[in-house]
Amino acid sequence: MSDFPNSLPRPEGEFERLRDAWVQPAGWKRIGEVNNSFIGPLFLATSILFLTLAGLLGVLIRLQLAWPGVNIIDAATYNQVFTMHGTVMMFLFAVPAVEAMGIVLLPSMLGARELPTPRLGAYAFWIYLIGGLAFFSSLFVGAAPDGGWFMYPPLTSLENSPGINTDMYLLGIGFIEISAIAGAIELIVGILRCRAPGMTLGRMPVFAWAMLVFAGMVIIAFPAVIIASTLLELERALNWPFFLPERGGDPLLWQHLFWFFGHPEVYVIFLPAAGMISMIVPVMAHARLLAQNLVVLALISTAFLSFGLWVHHMYATGIPGMSLAFFAAAGFAVSIPSGLQVFAWIGTLASGQRVRLNVAGLFALGFLFIFTLGGLTGVMVSVTPFDWQAHDTYFIVAHLHYVLIGGMVFPLLGALYHWAPAIGTPLSERMGKWAFWLLFLGVNLTFFPMHISGLIGMPRRIYTYPAGLGLEIWNLMSTVGALVVLAGGIVLIVDIFSHFRLGKNGTPNPWDAGTMEWLPNYNWGPRSLPYPTSAYPLWDNPELAREVEEGRHYLPGSLTGKREALVVHAGSGEPQYVAVVPGAGVGHLVAAVGTAGFFLALTVKAVEISAAFGALALGGFFYWLWTGTDTGPHKVREGPIGGGLVLPTYASGPVTISWWAVGVQLVVSGAMWACTAGSYLYLWLVNGDARWAAGAPDTTLGLAALLVYAAAAGSFWLAARGLARNGRIPALFLLTALALMLAASGAEFLSLMEVGLQPEEHSHSAISWTLVCLQATHVVVCLMMVLYTQARSWCGMLDGERRVVFDNTRLFFLYTCAQGVAGLALLHLFPRLL
């Protein structure tokens, strides 16, 4: 009797059937491929392109500041250059780069065939690529943003920034955030549901934990900056005064919203990098990560606590001292889990028999040194009185670069050298060492002197400075350092171009690592899916690679002859069903072009063109959904995956990955609503009760809307009951539910109009209208989803068993009803309690 889930020899043709299911289109058709092995490396390469471009802007900044009175670029161009440097680094390099690493590595690391929503991942990549390149190009026509990467009003108000530069940021970056969120949804569902059988949360690699935490932070933090950007764009385009004090607005609202995103963003970038280090260090030491459970706890705790730090950036705004102390306390608290990780890495290195100091190891040590220095100055600036002195000086520039370069760039470069053999050919150790030392010395030479120039009093964001203040030598040293960094970057890029080739492993497991990405992997992951007994299955069983390759473990073939992913229980890793996942297509590409075009055309106020692109995007979405989503039960309804397990090939309801994806998307919607509601309450707080009490919307219409939302939810519930009982949707109930929802939304609008609230008048009216409009956008999405669901039903593509589309629509519909009720309570009830 075999000890393995599947015995040998494997049936003839099993491997070929698996290979054929995952074959990728050739030639130009490959552009429609969605597999992670294709999209992931493209994503990563694009992010490195943006790192290079933003890095060159950094060098330009340093050349300009090399000596007093240099005039390589004028002040206005300088403003665009430093804004683009920061914005591109943060939005177009850092977040996409870690997301890309996740897409590249996670399926094989988790022992999965594929991420669960590959077209969503591909869509995220294409809007990032198209939008990012268009956004960067704005620099060449003088239309790039110029208000700094955090774009504070009133500097960015229409009065002070009348051109399209600010709009380019608000709309251009806005949709790149859509890419980040789309990628995060894919990663969350993939990490929780697409793992090897039996890979419990406790056996999950730390990098997967870090990426899960990262994605969780993205879906909470990014909505804040989307709402902030929307409010500022509404103010600029429609004269709705959110940030104009003369009409009840407050510029500090922007700072609250932006930094609620912006501070966690630092950890969004750092935590995945910490996860990479937690994978590299055990391989360097050839020892299991010390206190892995505590490291997981540290990752999660850091993520949460980081949401209590946003006022760190607002110490100089006059907020009462006790409030500042709450945030300072959170700053000190977050040092506990951060320190815990550092000690775990040091302990792991100490516990190893022999430490291998390859290039990845050097970058890991470089990270420890640079990031720790950045962390120490971080503790300094979290002390409020010190921050008042250092605020907006080059001390802060030094601090943030030590944190971001040390905490993200070095780990990422280490990761490139570490994992290159897992996805292709290894990079050169010799050139890598040159690159490391040039970068390490260059970074310290560039940024350490900035601490001193900052303490002398040099402010940020100045395009030149007068001689005789003692700043010359420190600035010259920084510029020389930047050139050394440039040399290191060139060596790195030459190494990548001359040595890296994507493809099958040239050197299987060259570092003798213990995790599953080092199994022989194809573009469908490993041949068969092993049952991991710990976080280091290859160290537990040195024969695992051979066994997996022979097909002895789970799901060694394709049950349906199509691309499949094994879906497991989020906690226990117990296999639940085999999902058919989509392959190459064009819908996501069309949708990406449409989305990018829609936002970019809007930036230049080309409304008709924008509308045309919007229609194109919708067409792409619907084609994508109609042709590839919920293809229904396969003729092979179930099949054996090994070990006596027989799994279904189709599922519906809360167990499905698409239901989870919609659920995660609703968290995004909830975060957006919460940020808008928070803005409403903030503006009430700074304005006093009078305006809110006097301007309460019409009660009768509000009450009517409330009842109609409840009726809409009830009608949908009846439709669901009808589907469960009769196997078909009673059209009357579904369309009635939709009509009721539209009526409720209409009543909301009327309730504001009835009392004469004009959004241009005052921040109260503007934010009230914004809440109603946010709800209306959800109602419009519901409209499309319900009509789509009904159309599927009429076309015979939806019944009692094939009901994934219905379940997803129901989830979104009920959420929208609940959001509507919450909005009504806020707009109608709250002012009457004052």
Partner 1 sequence: MTGGGIRGAVRPIAGLMVWGAHFGALYAIHAVACERDFARLTWIGLGFVPGMIGAATLAALLALALLAHPSFARGPWPEGEPDFRTWLTAAACAMAATAVVFQAMPVIILPVCVNGH
Residues that bind partner 1 (CB under 8 A): 192-193, 200-203, 293-294, 296-297, 300-301, 304-305, 307-308, 315-326, 328-330, 332-333, 336-337, 384, 388, 534, 567, 569-573, 576-577, 648, 651, 653-657, 659-660, 663, 685-686
Preceding peptide of 154 cis, ω within 30° = yes
Nearer to partner 1, 328 or 513 (CB): 328
Can you name the residues that pair with 564 across neighbouring β-strands?
580
Residue (216 or 587) nearer to partner 1, CB: 216
> Which is nearer to partner 1, 123 or 209 (by Cβ)?
209
Q: Measured from the CB of residue 216, what is the shortest distance to partner 1 in angstroms?
A: 9
Nearer to partner 1 by Cβ, of 475 and 808: the residue is 808
Closest of 568, 727, 758 to residue 660, by C-alpha: 568
- Residue 688 CB, nearest distance to partner 1 (Å)? 9
Query: Which is closer to partner 1, CB of 270 or CB of 463?
Result: 270
CB of 388 to partner 1, least distance (A): 6
Alpha carbon 209 to chain centroid, angstroms: 15
Q: 70 or 570, CB closer to partner 1?
A: 570
718-752 exposure pattern, b = at least 16 Cβ within 10 A, e = fewer: bbbebbeeeeebbeebbbbbbebbbbbbbbbbbbb
Q: Least distance (Å) from partner 1 to the CB of residue 576?
A: 6
CA 828-783-722 angle, 5° bins: 100
Closest approach of Cβ 561 to partner 1, in Å? 23
Q: What is the DSSP letter of 647?
A: E
Angle formed at CA 736 by CA 735 and CA 738, multiple of 5 degrees: 65
Please identify, using beta-carbon distances, which residue of 431 and 566 lies nearer to partner 1: 566
Q: How far apart are CA 297 and CA 494, in angstroms?
A: 39
Q: How far is the CB of 277 from partner 1 (least distance, A)?
A: 21
| Dihedral, 160, 161, 167, 173 alpha carbons, nearest 10 | -90
Distance, CA of 102 to CA of 366 (rounded, Å):
22
Give residue 97's Cα distance to chain centre.
10
Q: How far is the CB of 294 from partner 1 (least distance, A)?
A: 8
Kindly report the backbone phi and psi dihedral angles of residue 466, in degrees, each rounded to the nearest multiple of 5, phi listed first: -75, 150
Of 193 and 778, nearer to partner 1 (C-beta) is 193
To the nearest whole angstrom, how small is the minimum distance from the Cβ of residue 352 to partner 1? Answer: 20
Q: Which is nearer to partner 1, 532 or 695 (CB)?
A: 532
Rounded to the nearest whole angstrom, what is the least distance from the CB of residue 540 to partner 1 in the complex? 12
- Measured from the CB atom, the residue of 31 and 686 that comes closer to partner 1 is 686
Structure token pair of residue 736:
């009635």
**How far apart are the C-alpha atoms of 533 and 268, rounded to whole Å?**
30
Neighbours of 269 (CB within 10 A): 26
* Beta carbon of residue 278, minimum distance to partner 1 (angstroms, whole number): 16
In angstroms, how far is CA 673 from the centroid of its own chain?
18
User: From residue 529, how far is each of 108, 184, 547 by CA, in Å?
Assistant: 10, 24, 10
- Nearest approach in angstroms of CB 293 to partner 1 is 6
Q: Side chain identity at 801, as an amino acid letter?
A: E
The neighbour count for residue 236, using CB atoms within 10 Å, is 21
Pick from 629, 575, 565, 554: which is nearest to 802 by CA?
A: 629
Nearer to partner 1, 317 or 700 (CB): 317
Q: Give the phi and the psi of residue 759 in degrees, each rounded to 5.
A: -60, -25
